[in-house]
Amino acid sequence: MTTPAYLFSPQPQPALPVVGSSAVFPVHRIYCVGRNYAEHAIEMGHDPNKEAPFFFQKNPSNILLGREFPYPAQTSDLHFEIELVVALKSGGTNIPAADAMSHVYGYAVGLDMTRRDLQNAQKKLGRPWEVGKAFEHSAPCTPIVPADKIGHPSKGAIWVDVNNERRQTGDLAQMIWDIPNQIRFLSELFELKAGDLIFTGTPAGVGSLKKGDKIHGHVDGVADLDVVVV
């Protein structure tokens, strides 16, 4: 096959640094699971016992690697959601839960930044969520830590402080749909690929941010994430 002549230069391939490696992780897609911790589902007005998992996507180019998160346009209710991020090294379709973890390269800590006012307006109208979820810089993320260094975390604290005050707190063991089942569900809907990221949902306590706020997120045994809203 010959390489096509592009009309203009393609945009750069989004990638995440990898702890302990000079090679970077090229990002293919970003999947996010909604309402995956019971108390967060309840705070958003939903019954956690009645729902199958559901997913939305952000754009790979929405990843923010730097410390400064620019306050986005067209919102007055920007929310933080701290999440464990799963990074895949391989994929496929119809992956059984029992095989799912063999596709995981590593983990990171991310923020699913959300224009909650826009998301809520879209929900009311039965419209898609992109304007609330998939905007520029909406996926701040740490470098990836390989699973061969830290294993596969299935329990451990996940929390976020804003201006040194604890705002969200939970435990990975509280996920309604664990990581193997998230991969199984996703692979029944999409063809998963090496380079895919999965934001695995957020515990209770989401809230609003303003310029100058300092966010410090943490997942036990994985990483710490520091972001300031500018």
Residues forming the site for Mn ion (CB under 5 A): 81, 112, 202
Report, in Å, the least distance between residue 8 CB and Mn ion.
Answer: 34
Question: For Mn ion, which is the closer residue by CB, 18 or 87?
Answer: 87
Q: Which helix (H) or strand (E) holds 40?
A: helix 38-43
Question: For Mn ion, which is the closer residue by CB, 18 or 176?
Answer: 176
Report, in Å, the least distance between residue 201 CB and Mn ion.
Answer: 6
Contacts of 9 (CB under 8 A, 6+ apart): none
Q: For the purposes of burial, counting CB atoms within 10 Å of the CB of 205, is it exposed (0-12), middle (13-18) or buried (19 or more)?
A: buried
Percentages helix, strand, coil for the chain (3-state, rounded to 5) are 20, 35, 45
165-171: strand order across its sheet: 68-69, 223-229, 214-219, 157-162, 165-171
Question: For Mn ion, which is the closer residue by CB, 36 or 187?
Answer: 36
Question: For Mn ion, which is the closer residue by CB, 55 or 146?
Answer: 55
Report, in Å, the least distance between residue 197 CB and Mn ion.
Answer: 13
Question: For Mn ion, which is the closer residue by CB, 112 or 196?
Answer: 112
By Cβ distance, which residue is nearest to Mn ion? 112
Max distance between CA atoms of the chain, in angstroms, equals 56
Report, in Å, the least distance between residue 112 CB and Mn ion.
Answer: 3
CA 20 to chain centre: 22
Report, in Å, the least distance between residue 35 CB and Mn ion.
Answer: 8
Rg (CA), the chain: 17
